Amino acid sequence: MADKKITMSETLSSDGVHGEPGPEMTDSGLLDDETEKPRRFWLSLGLGLAAVAAIAAGIASFISVPYTAFELGTVNPIEDIVEIDGAETFPNEGELFFTTVRLNRLSALEWVFVRFGPAVDIFDTEAVFGTQTQAESRQCNAQMMVSSQSTANIVALTYLGYDVFDPTGVTVDGVADGSAADNIIECGDVIIEADGADITTTNELRDAVLARAPGDVIELLVERDGEPTEVSLPLGEVDGEPRIGVSIGTRLSENDLPIDLSLNVEGVGGPSAGLAFTLSYIDLLTEGELTGGNDVAVTGTMSLNGAVGPIGGVRQKVAAAIRSGADTMLIPASLRQSELDRAFAEAGEDIEVIPVASVQEAIEALADRGGNGRELVGPNGPIGAPSES
């Protein structure tokens, strides 16, 4: 180590070739004072400015700014992380991928430089996360991933013809302010009867309401905190039709299933892989190639009735899919038109982007490109479109 330091010192202090003294050097090998002073000044100034810049960059890296960047995420093959017990599986040549977007709450330093990365969009953090802290956001995203997997299990097995669940009532997920239900119906209520008739699905409740007129009183039986409660509700009106004024869902009682589906996913959150998981389950549980042997990137949330819901970061996901070499990408048709336009603009001629509104549309789109989705066979025979509730 000592020899190396001497060699470096010689190299830095000599203007001669191969260590030979140059014309400006004294017998001692040092530059004279008139030459050395300006050089020392500029060297000191440069080192000082570099130190200031390094300190400023260090401070800026710890200062948060109220912006979040949407950056390229990952494109992940699904087949390798799926675990299926209780049924024969059929590996595929083509691959289905789920895509992610990286949400980066920026520091001041990142805010300066991150915009130069590929396919980056910057938004106000509050517009992205609301008032959630980073810890709260991670927790919510983890729970949404769990729900996404569960929904994908149910939709895939329902599509394949398994008797997955029974509807047992209509859940009240929200009550509109000033509506007929305001202060009468509560979030968390489960409607099980209307005018004496059993109610198990949202369609049954809608039919019961539409059979009446605005202003009529409908008699409901709801479960509230596990107890049956009778409710008399004068119907409101929207565009001349009777309305209760609640957002609703279907309460489901899951049956015991002969197949256990699970995914080994770590470090990824959110609900946007629901469609990808659903298609992968269907592909692995049926013979043939759902993708026609192509590599297909997929993004979109999954509802229990098979509908595909919107997601965030579609531009970044398309860019990541292109980088991965995927042939095709399925995205939600329910995205805002501006987001669809951004997806198509990012895709250009590099990848075919296909908006789909349901599992059935996704399978049809893949069938149009060589997949076997129109010839699938489930445990009860040939498969048609999934039923909707």
Give pLDDT, residue 308.
96
Whether residue 88 is found in the same domain as residue 40: no
- Single residue among 220, 254, 288 that ends a domain in this structure: 254
Q: Give 335's Cβ-side CA count (13 Å radius).
A: 24
Whether residue 158 is found in the same domain as residue 169: no
Cα gap 251→253, rounded to integer Å:
7
Cα gap 78→26, rounded to integer Å:
72
**70 occurs within a structural domain:** yes
DSSP code, position 335: S
> What is the span of the domain harbouring residue 176?
165-254
Tokens for 5, please give them.
């330091």
**31 occurs within a structural domain:** yes
**10 occurs within a structural domain:** no
b/e 295-332 (16+ beta carbons within 10 angstroms → b): bbbbbbbbbbbbbbbbbbbbbbbbbbbbebebbbbbbb
Whether residue 271 is found in the same domain as residue 156: yes
For Cα atoms 254, 140, 300, give the angle at the middle one, nearest 5 degrees: 70
Whether residue 135 is found in the same domain as residue 150: yes
Whether residue 115 is found in the same domain as residue 181: no
Whether residue 229 is found in the same domain as residue 85: no
Sequence-distant (6+) residues with CB within 8 A of 64 are: 105, 106, 107, 108
Please report which residue ranges of the chain form alpha helices under DSSP H.
2-13, 33-60, 108-113, 125-129, 134-159, 202-210, 274-284, 314-324, 337-347, 359-367
Whether residue 105 is found in the same domain as residue 32: no
Q: Could you report the per-residue pLDDT of 334-352, keeping only the tens digit for each?
A: 999 999 999 999 999 999 9
**16 occurs within a structural domain:** no
Sequence-distant (6+) residues with CB within 8 A of 108 are: 60, 61, 63, 64, 65
Give pLDDT, residue 128.
80
Q: What's the residue count for the chain?
A: 389
Whether residue 210 is found in the same domain as residue 174: yes
- Single residue among 15, 40, 60 that ends a domain in this structure: 60
Tokens for 174, please give them.
């929200």
**292 occurs within a structural domain:** yes
Give pLDDT, residue 45.
60
Give pLDDT, residue 57.
52
Whether residue 190 is found in the same domain as residue 292: no
Whether residue 34 is found in the same domain as residue 142: no
Phi, psi of 379 (to 5 degrees): -65, -20
**14 occurs within a structural domain:** no
Report strand pairing: 246-254 vs 165-175.
Answer: antiparallel
Give pLDDT, residue 49.
63
**17 occurs within a structural domain:** no
Report strand pairing: 377-378 vs 352-356.
Answer: unpaired
Give pLDDT, residue 42.
64
Give me the number of domains the chain comprises.
Answer: 3
**71 occurs within a structural domain:** yes
Cα gap 214→237, rounded to integer Å:
5
Give pLDDT, residue 29.
43
- DSSP H or E segment with residue 382: strand 381-382
- Single residue among 254, 280, 305 that ends a domain in this structure: 254
pLDDT in tens for each of the 389 residues of the chain? 444 333 333 323 333 334 444 434 434 444 455 556 666 666 666 666 666 555 655 565 557 778 888 898 899 999 989 999 999 999 899 999 999 988 888 777 777 778 888 888 888 888 887 777 778 777 777 777 877 888 898 899 999 988 887 888 998 888 887 888 888 998 889 999 999 999 998 889 999 999 999 999 999 999 998 899 999 999 999 888 999 998 888 887 767 777 888 888 877 888 899 999 999 999 999 999 999 999 999 999 998 889 999 999 999 999 999 999 999 999 999 999 999 999 999 999 999 999 999 999 999 999 999 999 999 988 878 886 444 33
Whether residue 303 is found in the same domain as residue 172: no
Whether residue 330 is found in the same domain as residue 350: yes
Number of H helices, E strands in the chain: 10, 20
Q: Residue 346 maps to which CATH number?
A: 3.30.230.10
Q: Residue 206 maps to which CATH number?
A: 2.30.42.10
Tokens for 334, please give them.
């329910």
Cα gap 156→383, rounded to integer Å:
12
